[in-house]
Amino acid sequence: MKILIINGPNLNLLGQRETDIYGHYSFEDYFKHLQKKFLDLKLEYYQTNHEGSIIDKIHQRGFKYDGIVINPGAYTHYSYAIYDALKSVTAPAIEVHISDIEKREEFRKISVIKDACVHQIKGKGLPGYEEAIEYLVKMKE
């Protein structure tokens, strides 16, 4: 089973930015943990601060992979282009947010991506990514 993890803008700064919200670990370190935990899966990680690059990656992998775990960052709240890309491919997507977007600023409470995904996980920190992967595995069984 092949799963693509996509992180959007500013998530390259995990472990450095707003550690009270996002924690002290970089995603690169956490990704190593995921690879060890899910040895039987092919996990690919991609991070970019550019909307078009996210769309391109969804197009490239979305017909070949079994699932996508996506944290679109701020694009969550206004990128209908990412929504359309997720709807256009066959791989089911799960939206993940490290913080609980429902308990943050008003603009963060709206996800335009949500309806293009089969599930949304929010407010569980980095372990939300594990939950998303497990959800995709169960879908495939």
Q: Is 65 a catalytic residue?
A: no
**How many alpha carbons lie under 13 Å from residue 74 in its C-beta half-sphere?**
7
Q: Is 135 a catalytic residue?
A: no
pLDDT of 79 reads 97
pLDDT of 16 reads 78
Tokens of 63: 């017909």
Please report whether residue 106 resides in a domain.
no
Catalytic residue among 22, 30, 83, 129: 22
Per-residue pLDDT of the chain in tens (141 residues, 90 and over written 9):
999 999 999 998 877 767 777 677 889 999 999 999 999 999 999 999 999 999 999 999 999 999 999 999 999 999 999 999 999 999 999 999 998 877 777 777 799 999 999 999 999 999 999 999 999 999 988
pTM for the predicted model, two decimal places: 0.93
Strand order in the sheet with 67-71: 42-47, 2-7, 67-71, 93-97, 119-122
How far apart (Å, rounded) are the C-alpha atoms in residues 37 and 104? 31
> Which domain covers residue 52, as residue numbers?
2-99+112-140
How far apart (Å, rounded) are the C-alpha atoms in residues 99 and 115? 19
Catalytic residue among 78, 97, 129, 135: 97
Domain harbouring 33, CATH code: 3.40.50.9100
Give the total number of structural domains in the chain.
1
Is residue 45 within 8 Å of residue 33, measured between CB atoms?
A: no
Please report whether residue 105 resides in a domain.
no
pLDDT of 101 reads 79
pLDDT of 24 reads 77
Q: Give residue 31's identity as a one-letter amino acid code.
A: F
| Residue labelled with tokens 């970089």 | 26
With H, G, I as helix, E, B as strand and everything else as coil, classify residue 107.
helix
| Residue labelled with tokens 């497990």 | 134
Q: Express each pLDDT in 22-50 by its tens digit.
A: 677 889 999 999 999 999 999 999 999 99
